[in-house]
Structure 1
Amino acid sequence: SLEYRWVTDPLGQPVEAYFGVLGGSKTAVVEVAQASGLPLVPEDKRNPLLTTSFGTGELVKEALDYGCDSLIMGIGGSATNDGGMGLLSALGVKFLDQEGQPLTGSGINLRKIHTIDIAGLDQRLAGMTVKVACDVTNPLCGPKGASAVYGPQKGAAPSMVEELDRGLAHFAYKIKEFLGVEVGSLPGGGAAGGIGAGLVAFLQAQLVPGVDLIIEATGMEKLAAQADLVLTGEGRTDGQTRYGKAPAGVAQLAKRYGKPVICISGSLGEGWEQVHGAGIDAVFSVCPGPLTLAEAMNDAAKLIRLTTLQVARLWQASFRRQENFIKPVTISGVRKYDKLVK
């Protein structure tokens, strides 16, 4: 089920977002992009020094209030670079400056942290299993860190990238000082503007490849074994898809059982044909013609539905063709197919 709540967006404004509850369980699924995603911030207002992940923390708290006792988090597509400072503040962690005054969670306040007080951290999180879907290995800081690699797409100018990186480095130093946890070089710590590192340090979260987490949480292996056709998809399929992205992982699973796999994607990028070598039999873009990104996003549900319908009709037609033109024959107890000669 999906549970809708009003929380805080990256700019501090109200936004309606949701968390999921897996059927028959008390496991909550929270996506950072729901409350703290980049699409929530207009392009002219994107500034990762000022955006906050506070709303994602509010969503986690709402899931706790709902009665969930385990948590799966997706941390892609964030508009933030605050190391999860905002998220953690919403859950009760206090970040204080040199004068002992509380700091709001944002990229610009990372370097101002003097003291970290976890006494108020929501007690319901103690011992809670937190798994984080993380498909990147970027560390928190440095030339391959959160700020340098992902900051520019969130609106950071070069000078801003340097300030953000120094802030995250200071954050890592303070985490080591007060929690005794080293996150500065943690693979995946730079995911979602450092939220990966924050979740590991404060909630003892496990960073897990996203597709592995989805397969486990949904019981996908059993479903794939029973299916005739496996559909997967992503926002953009390109040459990188075969390197650990969800469609490649789904295809790998499906091929264990000899199932055909079709990928339905928002768009096709350079090298998309390479996915055929990763077990994906065919790829379809949902865009029927030239569209702006905004148009495609606004009509995403409709476009996915229409494309999936055409894929299903093609699949159905292949069976009709098989019935009309192919007949099964048995040779020495082995069933084969021969073309009918009209």
Structure 2
Amino acid sequence: MDNAFPNGDGAARPARPRVVIAPDSFKGTASAAEAARAIAGGWASVRPFDELVLRPMADGGEGTLDAFAAAVPGAERRAVVVTGPAGGEHTADWLLLPDGTAVVELAATSGLTLLDRPRPFEASTRGFGEAIAAALDAGASGLLLALGGSGSTDGGTGALAALGARFLQADGESIAPGGAGLEELDRVELDGLRALPPGGATILGDVTNPLLGREGAAAVFGPQKGADAAAVARLERGLDRLARMTPGGAELAAAAGAGAAGGTGFALLAWGARMRGGAAAVAEAIGLDAALGGAGLVITGEGRYDRQSAAGKAPSEVAARAAVAGVPVDLVAGRIDAGTGGFRAAASLSSLAGSGARAMADPLAWLRAAGVELARSR
């Protein structure tokens, strides 16, 4: 990860004013690092003598593994072949940190972007569980489990099945993969689950939604994964069935973050993992607070800024830390669907481009344009 963006003429200059650029990825179009560099390029074209400090962010979703890999010296990527979200083989990475902790990212193993098309009933988290198992087999002393970017609503049954749990029909056969299989569920057996590593497992979530209800996994996130109203109702019934049949399920279903990744948060809580905000963990790993010291501005962003953005997403974490440091914040987003009153300025790529389709066709160019617009407003 670049720590600073070069000034216009390459010469060393006083490090004032300092602008920290800390966006999340723009899902499916630009990584956090690519977004940060594009915004920085636009800003530098207007204000070439500012010190630009790049700190690409993540919040438990797509890019979390990359953020840790860039921020932690000595981190080692390990390749693993897992079951893709719709079946078949998929090659992904998990990350071994120098202290023995493994970072496993659901988006990289069972994510929505890995599907050829949305599959609200068939997509499974099994590959995520297989990657966790690979990390345990390699001797990981602890687990950081990044949950954003899921392509499924299977309540995490695929992941736990890969770790030794059994989700059975009345005839004793395993349920089908995906959310559809929850309709067949007759009993849950967790006795065969692998033990947690000595350092435990920490869930890096990007949302605080419960498993069930109007703010639950199916209702809020199902439509993003191709579920219409009727499909959402079916998935909700399946998740409710899972909660009723899982030991301690009623309490776990109500926990903040249980609805993350189509209910995978619920499954990992049932395994004994603990919940933590993913954006906070990444911010600490990349040294965001230190970068904000003495800064005059921070720019953050994500693909879509909406009402969920305030519930643990990267922009809200960056803004909260900037507020503590007394640093104003600018926002860049592919699309803005919520109020931006807390930001000094905001730039929407779809507005700059004239449409969402045009913005997505060349996201780096429009991220650069956003940097230009924000610099001119400074």
Q: How many angstroms apart in 2 are the aligned matches of 1:3 and 1:298?
A: 32
Letter paired with 1:49 = F
1:187 corresponds in structure 2 to 256
The 5 Å alignment of 1:35-184 reads 35-43=109-117, 46-123=118-195, 125-176=196-247, 182-184=251-253
Identity fraction in percent: 37
The 5 Å alignment of 1:221-300 reads 221-225=289-293, 230-238=298-306, 241-242=309-310, 244-271=312-339, 273-276=340-343, 281-285=344-348, 289-290=353-354, 300=363
Indicate if the aligned counterparts of 2:107 and 2:149 stay in contact, CA closer than 8 A.
yes
Q: Which residues of structure 1 form unaligned runs of 5+?
A: 319-342
Letter paired with 2:111 = G
Q: How many angstroms apart in 2 are the aligned matches of 1:58 and 1:298?
A: 34
Letter paired with 2:222 = G
Q: How many angstroms apart in 1 are the aligned matches of 2:278 and 2:308?
A: 15
* CA separation of 1:60 and 1:289: change in aligned 2, threshold 3 A: same
Offset at 1:93?
Answer: 1.6
Q: Which residues of structure 2 form unaligned runs of 5+?
A: 1-68, 70-76
SS of the aligned residue for 1:182 comes to helix
Offset at 1:311?
Answer: 8.3
Offset at 1:71?
Answer: 2.0
Letter paired with 1:256 = V
Q: How many angstroms apart in 2 are the aligned matches of 1:225 and 1:307?
A: 27
Letter paired with 1:215 = A
Indicate if the aligned counterparts of 1:51 and 1:81 stay in contact, CA closer than 8 A.
yes
Offset at 1:247?
Answer: 1.7
SS of the aligned residue for 2:257 comes to coil
Q: How many angstroms apart in 2 are the aligned matches of 1:37 and 1:59?
A: 13
Indicate if the aligned counterparts of 2:130 and 2:163 stay in contact, CA closer than 8 A.
yes
TM-score by length of 1: 0.74
Q: Tell me the alpha carbon deviations over residues 305-331 of structure 1, each in whole angstroms, 9 at most, x when there is no partner.
A: 74687589x59xx8xxxxxxxxxxxxx
SS of the aligned residue for 1:151 comes to helix
* CA separation of 1:247 and 1:32: change in aligned 2, threshold 3 A: same
1:324 corresponds in structure 2 to none
Letter paired with 2:143 = L
Match among 72, 87, 99 for residue 12 of structure 1: 87
Indicate if the aligned counterparts of 2:146 and 2:205 stay in contact, CA closer than 8 A.
yes
Offset at 1:32?
Answer: 1.9
Larger Rg: 1
Offset at 1:66?
Answer: 4.2
Indicate if the aligned counterparts of 2:147 and 2:203 stay in contact, CA closer than 8 A.
yes
1:329 corresponds in structure 2 to none
Q: How many angstroms apart in 2 are the aligned matches of 1:180 and 1:160?
A: 23
Q: Tell me the alpha carbon deviations over residues 224-254 of structure 1, each in whole angstroms, 9 at most, x when there is no partner.
A: 3365654432122356645653223212313
Indicate if the aligned counterparts of 1:54 and 1:88 stay in contact, CA closer than 8 A.
yes
What is the number of equivalent residue pairs in this alignment? Answer: 302
Q: How many angstroms apart in 1 are the aligned matches of 2:295 and 2:78?
A: 29
Indicate if the aligned counterparts of 2:153 and 2:261 stay in contact, CA closer than 8 A.
yes
Letter paired with 1:283 = A
SS of the aligned residue for 1:283 comes to strand
* CA separation of 1:119 and 1:226: change in aligned 2, threshold 3 A: farther
Q: How many angstroms apart in 2 are the aligned matches of 1:195 and 1:297?
A: 29
Offset at 1:286?
Answer: 5.2
Letter paired with 1:90 = A
Indicate if the aligned counterparts of 1:239 and 1:274 stay in contact, CA closer than 8 A.
no
SS of the aligned residue for 1:11 comes to coil
Q: How many angstroms apart in 2 are the aligned matches of 1:154 and 1:66?
A: 33
SS of the aligned residue for 1:234 comes to strand
SS of the aligned residue for 1:183 comes to helix
Q: How many angstroms apart in 2 are the aligned matches of 1:126 and 1:196?
A: 18
Letter paired with 2:212 = C
Indicate if the aligned counterparts of 1:232 and 1:262 stay in contact, CA closer than 8 A.
yes
Indicate if the aligned counterparts of 1:17 and 1:34 stay in contact, CA closer than 8 A.
yes
Indicate if the aligned counterparts of 1:26 and 1:68 stay in contact, CA closer than 8 A.
yes
Offset at 1:182?
Answer: 3.0
SS of the aligned residue for 1:121 comes to coil
TM-score by length of 2: 0.68
